[in-house]
Structure 1
């Protein structure tokens, strides 16, 4: 089984620890992971803002970067959704685009559906609440996969997030074009997260977590935003600080 990591540009540029955690986690489960150096942006920002022509070279580059792999693991629901749900529309312009889509898996999908595991041998003795991002929730239909993985982590106390299915307000360029509305939505999400008494706000999309984490940091709130991969990669010997 040939497996590649599609780290995504947000993780690569801003939060590389998520990519490192994903590789550590998969290798602990016996998966040998490649990292094609030719990978870059999937084209989602351009596609979502109507620049289809500018998206084509990025789709073409992504398809070429991941040729020959059985599975491509993505620690980002939004980027996985871009490939799975929109690459097929580039079929005439980018041969192979439609063929890549079914080989792409968001991290929790790969763990639960492909590897068939929910207990990944993690230990994270903290109170955690989980925010399901819109792309993972609605486009990918991740459902209970992230929760099942978190519930199997030794020492972790998972608490319900009120209004969990409501958007956090990031929405890519939505946050740039509608900053006041975006901030108000983020404030609602943060208020609900703080009400749980959790020490960690967990998610599977760092775009959402950057939005919420930035707001939490500016408030000096006693709550840290952390990607799911970093929790699942944690062990007793390597405690989270």
Structure 2
């Protein structure tokens, strides 16, 4: 299978991609990381630059076309491959079928682990109370909700505390946080209020955009809550600095 690394993992948190590769390898997959992969094109698409988005999508399709499955640690990126690509090329007799074939083989990481390869537990340990933020794209476009929680329940020592409004947007929304920073900040603060009220020591999620947004806000508030991508915890890599912590990578 081909690992779609994502821009944010590549530039801001490479450990997420390494954690995904570790989990997929443990599940019996032969993991390849095509060097020609680029951004999924979501920023261009969300900004209305459909021509640029199509050019980017073509390179992604070509990079992963020969792989049995394409898996990425991001609900928003994989929703772009799965739902946006077929729409982008709906009227193209050549690229339309190619986009549809890629879409049918594209998976968010925890969905792939639970639904395709049948993973039910992981040999990881984290003695902490954690809570989980459901990102908008993963939840609403891909139905990612129970899958990460099923795997987290197998982590030794982990206690899952659900928060109020777990399914409410954190305010990141890609370009939304740039266009409407005051609204975005208020939404993040509301989410953080729910996190702190839960008593959780660790915040987890499946999309780095959300997690970077919330981690930055938590640090500015002086909160002790640590932030990790769910893949890092499932892969037993939560001993490293959390997102936004000194020394984090």
Same fold per TM (> 0.5)?
A: yes
Single out whichever of 88-97 and 73-82 deviates more from structure 2.
88-97
**Cα deviation, residue 239, structure 1:** 4.2
Q: Tell whether 2:104 aligns with 1:102.
A: yes
Q: Distance in 2 between matches of 1:51 and 1:37?
A: 25
TM-score normalized with structure 2 length:
0.92
TM-score normalized with structure 1 length:
0.95
The correspondence for 2:66, drawn from 59, 65, 68, is 68
Alignment match, 2:155:
153
Unaligned runs of 5+ residues in structure 1 are: none
- 1:74-123 CA-to-partner distances (Å, cap 9, x unmatched) read 10000001111111023317351121001110001110111111202222
**Cα deviation, residue 14, structure 1:** 0.9
Q: Distance in 2 between matches of 1:147 and 1:173?
A: 28
- 1:183-241 CA-to-partner distances (Å, cap 9, x unmatched) read 00000001110111111100000000000000011122010111000000007xx8456
Secondary structure of the residue aligned to 2:190 is helix
The correspondence for 1:223, drawn from 215, 222, 225, is 225
Alignment match, 1:212:
214
* Alignment check: 8 A CA contact 1:198 1:223 kept: yes
Q: Distance in 2 between matches of 1:139 and 1:32?
A: 27
**Cα deviation, residue 181, structure 1:** 0.3
Alignment match, 2:39:
41
* Alignment check: 8 A CA contact 1:90 1:98 kept: no
Secondary structure of the residue aligned to 1:128 is strand
Map 1:51-130; keep pairs closer than 5 Å: 51-91=49-89, 92=92, 94-95=95-96, 96-130=98-132
* Alignment check: 8 A CA contact 2:27 2:119 kept: no
How many equivalent residue pairs? 237
* Alignment check: 8 A CA contact 2:73 2:109 kept: yes
Q: Distance in 1 between matches of 2:24 and 2:82?
A: 22
Alignment match, 2:192:
190
